[in-house]
């Protein structure tokens, strides 16, 4: 059950935190394209934002597992750091080269900020869902 909560936390964090910050970047003129991209993407022709949220959902369980035993500031800090680094590294090292997209300092900073906000969102939604992970010793 925790896996579903963590997936939902990652999915929702993408829509609220990642895309919310992206919308702020767009409103400030920092990025040319608006948030919540509804253009269909292959192979299923689902809206790009839903595809992004699905992958955010897949990243939810690893982040939830990493912060599962933490409390206080370390809970939030680890969610921020792991959220920023994990998805950003995969995007920059795998996804961008496969899609022929450029990686530059502005893109790296933007990815770290967006995905860090996403990580905080995962942590918040896990708290809202009371998504503790039961571990056995």
- Residue closest to 13 by CA, chosen among 97, 130, 116: 116
In a domain, 73, yes or no: yes
* Domain total of the chain: 1
pLDDT in tens, 80-133: 999 999 999 999 999 999 999 999 999 999 999 999 999 999 999 999 998 555
Residue 86: both structure tokens together: 């994990």
pLDDT in tens, 6-28: 999 999 999 999 999 999 999 99
In a domain, 136, yes or no: no
Domain that holds residue 117: 2-128
**Torsion on CA atoms 64, 67, 69, 71, rounded to nearest 10:** -120
In a domain, 134, yes or no: no
Has this prediction a pTM greater than 0.85? yes
Q: Is the peptide bond before 43 cis (omega within 30 degrees of 0)?
A: yes
């Amino acid at each position: 059950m925790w896996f579903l909560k963590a997936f939902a936390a990652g999915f929702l964090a993408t829509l609220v935190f990642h895309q919310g910050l992206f919308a702020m970047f767009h409103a400030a003129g920092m990025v040319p394209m608006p948030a919540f991209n509804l253009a269909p993407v292959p192979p299923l022709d689902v809206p790009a934002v839903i595809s992004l949220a699905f992958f955010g959902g897949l990243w939810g369980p690893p982040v939830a597992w990493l912060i599962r035993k933490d409390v206080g500031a370390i809970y939030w800090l680890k969610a921020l750091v792991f959220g920023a680094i994990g998805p950003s590294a995969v995007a920059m090292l795998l996804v961008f080269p496969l899609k022929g997209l450029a990686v530059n300092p502005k893109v790296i900073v933007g990815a770290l900020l967006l995905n860090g906000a996403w990580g905080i969102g995962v942590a918040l939604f896990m708290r809202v869902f009371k998504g503790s992970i039961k571990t056995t010793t």
